Amino acid sequence: MSSPSALSLVIESWLRRGVVDTVRHLAEEQSFDRVHGVRTTGRVPVERLVKRVESAWPDTSEYQPVPAALFRAALAAVPAAARAGAFVDLGCGKGRALVMAAEAGFRHVRGVELARPLACQAELNAEAVASRLGVTLEWRLEVADAAERAFDPDETCVFLFNPFGRLVLRRVLDRLSRSLAAHPRAAAVIYVNPQHLEVLAESRALTEHSLGKTRIGGVLDWAVYVSRCTGEMGLGRR
């Protein structure tokens, strides 16, 4: 998938969020790695790192870290019950979302990434944050195609920062539906920059919970979907 330039992203943010939020966002992005003691910044075209992956190619986004402000806003919308289990980032890149999930209190944190060099960096970042937080974290970094990976029954918070297109997303959601049918549980899917939201909307296992819209223009920044079981358990919105 082709990606817009950094300048066009700044202009787009300016138009959607206004000057103050854009400047605040840029300042946080500039200092994120220094403040958190990790290395997550930079954009990496994944075709440089992965020669060929049958199921995912060319349905793959380049690496760029999730904007910290969007991650925080989306995670805050997730029902508490879906925050109680493991966090899994499909297309974790260098692990920005994993670092922020650990900081937000998740103690079981997993990343799945096609490109080994990115997953290796995610592992270093995970070690750095675990040692900085001084808590016991269960980390698992898998170099794998998300379309081929089965969900574990303790995984309740699935994170996607627009990592792939419809093809892979459908296969991922199909696997998630099967896992939820076999092990019914409160679970949430956080989808930042939800380019293919219609695929989530098609899912019979999930239902829309919250949408994060930009201040100007009302374009979607993120969406949170929850398992139908989450609603039945009366856990609703936080």
Ligand X SMILES: C[S@@+](CC[C@H](N)C(=O)[O-])C[C@H]1O[C@@H](n2cnc3c(N)ncnc32)[C@H](O)[C@@H]1O
- Minimal distance in Å, beta carbon 232 to ligand X? 29
Across the beta sheet with 108-113, the strand order is 138-143, 108-113, 86-90, 155-161, 188-192, 220-227, 206-213
Distance CA 187, CA 157 (A): 6
Residue of 75, 77, 109, 114 that binds ligand X (CB under 6 A): 114
Sign of CA dihedral 10, 15, 17, 19: positive
Q: Which of 77, 91, 123, 205 binds ligand X (CB under 6 A)?
A: 91
From first CA to last CA, the distance across the chain in angstroms is 35
- The number of beta carbons lying within 10 Å of the beta carbon of residue 8 is 10
Tell me the window of 54-62, 133-141, 206-214, 221-229 that interacts with ligand X (CB under 6 A): 54-62
CB-nearer residue toward ligand X: 61 or 179: 61
Q: Which is nearer to ligand X, 18 or 55 (CB)?
A: 55
Check if the beta carbon of residue 86 is closer than 8 Å to that of residue 106.
Answer: yes
Q: How far is the CB of 71 from ligand X (least distance, A)?
A: 7
Structure tokens at 6: 């950094």
Residue with smaller CB distance to ligand X, 65 or 79: 65
Look-up of token digits 């790695």: 33
Q: Which stretch binds ligand X (CB under 6 A): 56-64, 101-109, 199-207, 229-237?
A: 56-64
CB contact at 8 A, 175 and 189: no
- In sequence order, what DSSP letters do the residues of 139-178 get, joined into one string? EEEEES-GGGPPPPTTEEEEEEES-B-HHHHHHHHHHHHH
Q: How far, in whole angstroms, is CA 160 from its chain's centroid?
A: 3
Stretch that binds ligand X, among 25-33, 111-119, 198-206, 223-231 (CB under 6 A): 111-119
Q: Which 3 state secondary structure label does DSSP give 45?
A: coil
Among 75, 86, 102, 112, binds ligand X (CB under 6 A): 112
* CB of 231 vs ligand X, minimal distance in Å: 26
Q: x/- binding map, residues 134-173, to ligand X, per CB under 6 A?
A: -----------xxx-------------xxxx---x-----
Task: CB nearer to ligand X: give 113 or 221.
Answer: 113
Q: Which is nearer to ligand X, 21 or 142 (CB)?
A: 142
96 binds ligand X (CB under 6 A): yes
DSSP state of 152: P
Q: Of residues 17, 33, 65, 68, which one binds ligand X by CB under 6 A? A: 65
* β partners of residue 141: 111
Question: Closer CB to ligand X, residue 112 or residue 199?
Answer: 112
Residue 58 preceded by cis peptide, ω within 30: yes
Binding site for ligand X (CB under 6 A): 46, 56, 60-61, 63-66, 89, 91-93, 96-97, 112-115, 118, 145-147, 161-164, 168
